[in-house]
Chain A
């Protein structure tokens, strides 16, 4: 069961790369914004159905949430447009490693300052080492 779930998560990660792989060529054909729109349009339709059938029935309204928490949808397109621009120029692997570097760097900062209501924790040495190796990986990738 455990192994099956892990394989499923690996497949999920592969899906993310396939998504990036589809976006690049699509963006250069129809334009980056249209390619991004295709992701969010189809995604909105799918997640609407998921929400309709599988969400708990009495969850609180979006309008009861602090507006800051609702900004995910504004940040999403930034990420997808960047994927569409970067992937054809530097390859999928380097794009993914760059994304990973940004995530680790940012999560260090979010934890350190306790931004967005997360618990405040000191800078983690292990994640700094991880970030250094990710940067090394980027350098190797850039060498070709």
Chain B
């Protein structure tokens, strides 16, 4: 089960980087906000179609959950704006490492304390070792993207 989910996450990452490559080109043609709007609106349409035909009935709907659970997009959209502002001033290499650093720190915190209704996963020794490996990986990503942009 764990392996399957890790594979899924890896596929998700690959999808994300294809999307980033496409959106990067679209963004340079029509502007970043336009390309972001297209991504979100087409995404909403596709998801709505899937819901119509495939989603089973649920006892709880989006209107029943506490409102803070609906704030996900308010965390994702600022990321797009921040990257637009920052990348040209601090460079892709630094921006890439800073994003991943932020992602990791926050995800380890959420796991450790079980924030936002997630199951708590304590920060063990092997998790620390994983973080050390990532720090090394970040160093290599940084030195490779100094010469070119990471998709």
Q: For the complex, what is the distance from the CA of A40 to the CA of B25, rounded to whole Å? A: 21
Kindly report which residue of chain A lies nearest to residue B108, judged by CB atoms. A93
Separation of A16 and B107 alpha carbons in the complex (Å) = 9
Residues of chain A within 8 A (CB-CB) of B72 are: 18-19, 22-23, 26, 35, 38-39, 42
Total interface residues on A, using CB and 8 Å? Answer: 113
Are B99 and A13 neighbours in the complex by a CB distance under 8 Å?
yes
Q: Which residues of A contact B42 (CB under 8 A)?
A: 70, 72-74, 76
With A79-B15, A79-B19, A83-B12 known as contacts, the answer to whether A44 contacts B105 (CB < 8 A) is: no
- Complex: how many Å from CA A71 to CA B26? 10
**Which of these, A10, A76, A90, A91, contacts B102 with CB under 8 Å?**
A10
B contact residues around A9 at 8 Å (CB):
82-83, 86, 90, 94-95, 98-99, 102
Sample (10) of A-B pairs whose CB atoms are under 8 Å apart: A12-B78, A17-B103, A43-B40, A69-B22, A76-B39, A77-B46, A79-B19, A88-B119, A115-B21, A126-B143
Q: Is the CB of A92 within 8 A of B65?
A: no
Q: Is the CB of B140 within 8 A of A126?
A: yes
Using CB atoms and an 8 Å cutoff, list the residues of chain B in contact with chain A: 1-3, 5-23, 25-26, 29-31, 33-48, 50-51, 54-56, 58, 60-62, 64-65, 68-83, 85-86, 89-90, 94-95, 98-108, 110-111, 115-119, 121, 124, 126-127, 129-131, 133-134, 136-138, 140-141, 143-144, 148, 150-151
Chain A residue numbers with a CB within 8 Å of B2 are: 89-90, 142
> Would B22 and A68 count as touching, CB distance under 8 A?
yes
Q: Chain B contact residues: over half helix, strand or loop, or mixed?
A: helix
Question: A13 near B26 (CB under 8 angstroms)?
Answer: no
User: Contact between A21 and B19 (Cβ–Cβ < 8 Å)?
Assistant: no
C-alpha spacing A73/B96, complex, angstroms: 22
**Nearest B residue (CB) for A16:** B103
Decide if B73 touches A39 in the complex (CB within 8 Å): yes
- CB closest residue in chain B, given A2: B90
A68, B107: Cα distance in complex, Å: 33
